[in-house]
C-alpha cells in the first residue's frame, strides 16, 4: 500500500507540473499556476486516509518551459513515513500527437524518514562514519526500525509518463518467482540519470551507506546504458568499506527477465540453471578497501571485461585483479618475518586471466593466466586447444572421453620472471623443506635431468634440464613454449606418444626454451 501511495502522489505531481509547463509555453503563467494549484488541491482531497501532501510554493517559468514545486512534504501516518523535497522541477516538455510525450525531472534536497522521525533529523546534513550518513535516532525516533535517507540532487531526462506508468504496472506484481514480461520491459526507454549526495542511515542496524554520485547513460528499449558510481562508503558493526569508482557497462532488462523465467522452469524440474551475462559487457571497481572483524583488504582494481555467453556457457571473458594487498594475518609467522626483512609491507599481488572459445574456427585459448608478486617475481602460462567446439564441451560434461579423442593440443607457453627478492625467496622456501640451494642444483643435475631426457627425449630433456638448473643457481627469466609444426596431436595421442615414443612427440612440436640470468 505504501508503494502504491508513493506512486500515486509522485505520478500525479509529475503530470501536474508537466501540464503547467505546457501552459506556460503558451504564455499563460498565471492561468497555468491557478490550474496546477486546482489540480493539486484535487489530488490532496483524493489521497487515502492518513496520507497528506503539502507544498509551500508553485512557480511556472514560461521562458524556460519549466514548473517548480518547493517545500514539498508527503506524510503517511500509518507507516510513520515522512518525505520532504526542497524542490521538484520539470522542464523541456516535448509533445506528440497524443499530447505530452516526455519531460525532464529534477529533485533537490530530498529526505526520507521512517518510524516517525522528522526528515530534518539525522541524515539531513550531519555526516556519520567516514562521511557515510548520520548516527543516532534523533528526537522521537524509534531505534528498533528508524530509517533515514537523503539525496542532494536527482535528475532524470526524457521521462515518458505513459511508459513510467506502464512500467509501474508491470513491476507491481513481479517477483523472483514471477518475473515481469520481457516484451513489456523492452518497450521502456529513459534519458540520462544523475544522482548526487545519496545517504542511507539505519541506526537499528548500526549501518550507514553513502554515495557521492550515481549516473546512468540512459535506457533504450529496455537496455540500460553504462552505470557509473563514485565515492561509495558504508559501515556496519565490525565492518566497513569504501570504493572510489565502479562501472557496469550495459544490462539487458528483457534478457534478464527471460533468464529469470527460464531459471524458474529449470528449478521446477530439478534442472541446473544456465549461466547468462544478462547483456553485461564489462564491470569494474577501483580503489577498494574493506575491513571486517579486524581483517583488512585493499586492492587497486578488479575488472571483468569482454564478457560473452552462449547456450548458458561463458565462452569469452577477461579478469583482472590488480594491486591486491594480502592481509598479513593470512600468512604464517615465517612468511611475515621474511617479507619484513625484505621490506615488503604489504605484499601486493596482481592476477590476470583470459579465455576465448572461437566456436567458428574450433579453437579454445586458455590464458594467459599471469600472477605478479612485485619483488617476488611473476609467472604466467597459456594453452591453445584446436578441434573443439561449444557443443563438444557441453557433451564432454556427460561423456568426457569424447574430449580426449577430438581435442588437439595446438600449443602452450610458460614464463617465469624473477624479481629483486626472488633469489632470497627461493632460499626461504628451500629452508622450509630442509634443503639448500646447492642440494637443489645437485638434484636437478643428477636425477631430474635424466628423467626429463627419458620422458621428453634427449634434445628437449637436455635443454629443459639445463635451463632449470641455471634458474635454480641464479633466478632470472625462464620461458618455455610449444607450437604444433603441422597437425596438432589429440590428447589421447599425446599421452600414448609420451609413454611410448617421446622423441617423436617432441619432433611434432616446435619447442623453444630460453633462460637468461639476472
CATH classification at residue 17: 3.30.1300
**Any domain includes 203:** yes
Q: Are residues 167 and 226 in the same domain?
A: yes
pLDDT in tens, the chain (518 residues): 454 555 555 555 555 555 555 544 444 556 666 766 776 777 677 777 888 888 899 887 766 677 888 999 988 888 788 999 999 998 888 878 777 788 899 999 999 998 744 444 444 444 444 444 443 333 444 445 788 999 999 999 999 988 888 888 888 778 877 888 999 999 999 999 999 999 999 988 899 999 999 999 999 999 999 999 999 999 999 899 999 999 999 899 999 999 998 888 888 888 878 888 899 999 999 999 999 888 888 999 999 999 998 888 889 999 999 999 988 888 899 999 999 999 998 899 999 999 999 999 999 999 999 999 999 999 999 999 999 999 988 888 888 888 888 899 999 999 999 999 999 999 999 999 999 999 999 999 999 999 999 888 899 999 999 999 999 999 999 999 999 998 899 989 998 988 888 888 899 999 999 999 98
Check whether residue 275 and residue 166 sit in a common domain: yes
What range does the domain containing 208 cover? 160-305
Cell numbers that stand for 1 in this block: 500500500
Residue 15: predicted pLDDT: 54
pLDDT value of position 466: 96
Q: How far apart are CA 416 and CA 435, in angstroms?
A: 22
Which secondary-structure segment (H or E) carries 45? helix 29-46
Residues 294 and 377 in one domain: no
Query: Which helix (H) or strand (E) element contains residue 299?
Result: strand 295-310
Query: Is the Cβ–Cβ distance between 217 and 190 less than 8 Å?
Result: no
Do both 375 and 459 map to the same domain?
yes
Q: Are residues 386 and 504 in the same domain?
A: yes
61 falls within a domain: yes
Predicted local distance difference test score (pLDDT) of residue 27: 47
Residue 436 lies in a domain: yes
Indicate the SS3 state at residue 332.
coil
Could you tell me if 277 and 377 lie in one domain? no
User: Where among 305, 326, 342 does a domain terminate?
Assistant: 305
Residue 26 belongs to a domain: yes
Q: Is residue 107 part of a domain?
A: no
User: What is the rounded CA–CA span in Å between residue 178 and residue 215?
Assistant: 29
Q: What is the largest CA-CA distance in the chain?
A: 101
Task: Provide the H-helix boundaries in 55-185.
Answer: 161-172, 182-185
Residues 300 and 390 in one domain: no
Q: Which of 91, 122, 142 is the last residue of a domain?
A: 91
The total domain count for the chain is 3
Q: Are residue 180 and residue 253 in the same domain, yes or no?
A: yes
- Residue for cell digits 579454445? 364
| Residue 429 is assigned to a structural domain of this protein | yes
Show which of 281, 305, 329 is a domain's final residue: 305
Q: What's 190's DSSP letter?
A: B
In sequence order, the 6+-apart residues with CB closer than 8 A to the CB of 333 are: none
Q: Could you tell me if 375 and 451 lie in one domain? A: yes
**Which DSSP string corresponds to 222-233?**
TEE--EEEEEEE
pLDDT at 96: 80
Does 117 map to a domain?
no
Burial of 84 (0-12, 13-18, 19+ CB in 10 A): buried
Burial of 145 (0-12, 13-18, 19+ CB in 10 A): middle
Look at residue 267 and give its three-state secondary structure: helix
Is 327 part of any domain? no
- Does 444 lie in the same domain as 300? no
Give residue 134's pLDDT. Answer: 40
Q: Is 252 helix (H, G, I), strand (E, B) or coil?
A: strand
Residues 6+ apart with CB under 8 A from 233: 130, 131, 132, 209, 210, 240, 241, 242, 243
Amino acid at each position: 500500500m505504501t508503494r502504491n501511495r508513493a506512486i500515486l502522489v509522485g505520478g500525479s505531481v509529475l503530470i501536474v507540473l508537466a501540464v503547467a509547463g505546457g501552459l506556460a509555453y503558451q504564455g499563460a503563467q498565471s492561468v497555468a499556476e491557478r490550474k496546477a494549484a486546482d489540480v493539486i488541491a484535487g489530488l490532496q482531497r483524493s489521497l487515502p486516509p492518513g496520507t497528506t501532501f503539502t507544498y509551500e510554493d508553485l512557480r511556472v517559468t514560461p521562458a524556460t518551459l519549466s514548473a517548480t514545486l518547493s517545500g514539498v512534504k508527503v506524510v503517511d501516518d500509518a507507516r510513520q513515513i515522512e518525505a520532504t523535497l526542497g524542490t521538484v522541477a520539470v522542464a523541456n516538455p516535448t509533445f506528440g500527437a497524443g499530447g505530452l510525450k516526455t519531460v525532464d525531472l529534477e529533485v533537490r534536497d530530498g529526505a526520507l524518514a521512517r518510524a516517525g522521525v522528522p526528515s530534518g533529523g539525522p541524515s539531513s546534513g550531519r555526516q556519520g562514519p567516514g562521511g557515510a550518513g548520520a548516527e543516532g535516532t534523533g528526537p522521537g525516533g524509534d531505534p528498533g526500525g528508524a530509517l533515514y535517507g537523503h539525496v542532494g540532487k536527482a535528475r532524470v531526462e526524457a521521462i515518458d509518463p505513459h511508459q513510467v506508468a506502464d512500467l509501474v504496472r508491470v513491476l507491481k506484481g513481479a517477483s523472483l518467482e514471477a518475473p515481469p514480461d520481457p516484451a513489456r520491459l523492452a518497450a521502456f526507454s529513459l534519458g540520462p540519470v544523475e544522482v548526487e549526495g545519496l545517504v542511507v542511515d539505519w541506526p537499528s542496524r548500526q549501518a550507514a551507506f553513502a554515495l557521492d554520485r550515481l549516473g546512468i547513460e540512459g535506457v533504450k528499449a529496455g537496455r540500460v546504458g553504462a552505470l557509473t558510481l563514485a565515492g561509495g562508503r558504508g559501515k556496519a558493526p565490525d565492518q566497513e568499506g569504501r570504493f572510489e569508482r565502479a562501472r557496469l557497462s550495459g544490462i539487458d532488462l528483457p534478457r534478464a527477465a527471460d533468464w529469470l523465467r527460464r531459471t524458474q522452469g529449470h528449478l521446477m524440474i530439478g534442472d541446473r540453471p544456465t549461466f547468462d551475462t544478462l547483456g553485461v559487457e564489462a564491470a569494474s571497481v577501483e580503489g577498494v578497501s574493506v575491513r571486517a572483524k579486524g581483517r583488512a583488504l585493499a586492492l587497486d582494481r578488479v575488472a571483468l571485461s569482454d564478457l560473452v555467453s552462449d547456450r548458458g556457457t561463458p565462452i569469452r571473458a577477461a579478469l583482472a585483479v590488480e594491486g591486491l594487498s594480502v592481509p598479513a594475518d593470512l600468512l604464517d609467522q615465517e612468511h611475515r618475518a621474511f617479507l619484513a626483512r625484505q621490506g615488503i609491507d604489504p605484499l601486493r599481488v596482481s592476477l590476470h586471466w583470459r579465455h576465448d572459445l572461437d566456436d567458428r574456427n574450433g579453437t579454445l585459448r586458455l590464458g594467459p593466466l599471469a600472477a605478479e608478486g612485485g619483488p617476488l617475481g611473476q609467472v604466467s602460462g597459456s594453452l591453445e586447444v584446436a578441434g573443439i567446439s561449444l557443443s563438444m564441451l557441453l557433451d564432454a560434461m556427460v561423456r568426457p572421453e569424447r574430449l580426449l579423442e577430438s581435442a588437439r593440443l595446438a600449443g602452450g607457453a610458460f614464463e617465469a620472471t624473477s624479481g629483486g627478492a626472488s633469489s632470497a625467496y627461493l632460499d626461504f622456501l628451500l629452508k622450509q623443506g630442509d634443503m639448500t640451494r646447492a642440494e637443489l642444483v645437485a638434484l636437478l643435475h643428477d636425477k631430474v635431468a635424466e628423467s626429463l631426457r627419458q620422458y621428453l627425449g634427449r634434445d628437449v630433456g637436455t635443454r629443459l634440464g639445463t635451463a632449470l638448473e641455471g634458474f635454480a643457481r641464479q633466478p632470472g627469466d625462464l620461458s618455455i613454449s610449444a607450437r604444433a609444426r603441422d597437425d596438432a596431436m589429440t590428447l589421447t595421442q599425446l599421452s600414448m606418444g609420451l609413454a611410448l615414443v617421446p622423441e617423436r612427440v617432441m619432433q611434432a612440436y616446435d619447442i623453444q626454451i630460453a633462460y637468461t640470468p639476472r
